[in-house]
Structure 1
Amino acid sequence: MDRSPAKIRLLDCALRVFRTKGYTATTVDDICAAAGVTKGSFFHHFKGKEELALETIAYWNEVTSGIFAQAPYRRIADPRERLLAYIDFRAALTRGKVPDCTCLLGTLVQDIFETHPHLREACDAGIRAHAMDVARTVEEAKALYAPDADWDPKSVALHTQAVLQGAFVLAKARNSTKPILESVAHLRRYIEMLLPEAPKARAAAKPQSPKERRK
């Protein structure tokens, strides 16, 4: 796939414009203006807006996969702590203006789920791929901290993404990142309840009574 500097510039600008305006409201003229290129240059790289959107989705998946692959939580050995650190990392990504904190895939799919099936499928694949990456950590944590629980790790991982995508919608409705941070905090508490600390860990953290200290 051609990834010349000129094409990367168009993809970067498409990321920004699509996340701000959505798919339907974005025009080729908007992308060209943001990138500072002519329509001739645009059509040299893309047949039209839908092809641009498909390649932008692929580009987004590559960029974000790289960010998460290098994130600090990856280095945490304990899966419960790693999962909680992943959630903390999502909170840390919430900075800047609302469009900068939201997900391209969620933004696009809300706009085109019924009208552009190829885009919908690409968005679904991207969201699910990230959820299944999270699911591996959830599965490890469940095996250690809640082996007898009847919930499914993949379903919980998808739920984390549902919470995040819903939080992005609320953030847009209020034009504030506060709903994202609040929802992520609630998600963290939910995961802590699903994966209670091991009895030994709780006992170590519990202050001893005077009677216990005399033993």
Structure 2
Amino acid sequence: MPVDAGRAPRGSARDKLIAAAHATVRRKGYAATTVDEICAAAGVTKGAFFHHFESKEALAIAAAEGWTERARPMFELPPHTRLVDPLDRLLGHIDFRFSMLDGPVEDFTCFVGTMVQEAYGTNPAIRAACEASINAYCEALAPDIEAAIARHGISQGVSAMSIARHVQAVLQGAFIMAKTTDDPAIARDSVTHLKRYILMLFGRG
């Protein structure tokens, strides 16, 4: 069947709605964001919204899953991922995250981190989706940390996942601090301290 040239490609409305949710929730928060605002930002009708999602919650869960996919290239594409030493790859990842902390705060804050702060106690499904996304980041970071531990040694009782979660905790806290001042400088300072900690942990600082 020929494709109507005036019709958006199949699936594009869903993708636009997810991208609009990412942008709008990061700027305004989950509770303050309405379906109408998301539709307007996506450039789609409300009918198209309900064709793809039965509710705002359903979109939020799908957008949390989409956020995980959006983060995946951070572990595959940047130059530091090709470094031989896993500790250098870890430090390169932190430098890469530091480089992202620029411009308006909503451009670098975390969608799932923003959303779970509001929904963790009232919406178990959204909390679980956010947990899965944040845990996926930690699981993607852990192999390089594990390899760095094996190569360079580290204090007993410190696991790769515990360090990965600490990296995520510092980043999420840095985003919150940046929101308090509406300025990325305080977040960049926090990530600089994180890098110092990793260097000292592995005996380089």
- TM-score, scaled relative to structure 1: 0.87
Q: Deviations over 1:42-100 (max 9, x none)?
A: 11111110001011111111111134321222101101111111100101111221011
Distance 2:58 2:68 in 1: 16
Distance 2:199 2:115 in 1: 31
The 1:136–1:30 alpha-carbon spacing in structure 2 relative to 1, beyond 3 Å, is same
Matches within 5 A, 1:1-215: 4-147=11-154, 149-197=156-204
Return 162-171 or 35-44, whichever deviates more. Answer: 35-44
Q: SS state of the match for residue 86, structure 1?
A: helix
Q: SS state of the match for residue 60, structure 2?
A: helix
Contact 1:15–1:104 (Cα < 8 Å) also in 2: yes
- TM-score, scaled relative to structure 2: 0.91
Given residue 174 of structure 1, which amino acid in structure 2 is its aligned partner? T
Return 58-67 or 162-171, whichever deviates more. Answer: 58-67
Distance 1:140 1:155 in 2: 14
Contact 2:29–2:114 (Cα < 8 Å) also in 1: yes
Distance 1:175 1:124 in 2: 26
Distance 1:107 1:150 in 2: 31
* Structure 1, unpaired ranges of 5+: 203-215
Give the Å deviation of 1:4: 1.1
Contact 1:146–1:194 (Cα < 8 Å) also in 2: no
Q: How many residues align?
A: 197
Return 115-124 or 126-135, whichever deviates more. Answer: 126-135
Identity rate, percent:
45
Superposed CA RMSD in Å reads 1.7
Contact 2:75–2:140 (Cα < 8 Å) also in 1: no
Given residue 73 of structure 1, which amino acid in structure 2 is its aligned partner? H
* Structure 2, unpaired ranges of 5+: 1-8
Distance 2:19 2:155 in 1: 46
Give the Å deviation of 1:148: 5.1
Distance 1:181 1:3 in 2: 40
The 1:3–1:166 alpha-carbon spacing in structure 2 relative to 1, beyond 3 Å, is farther
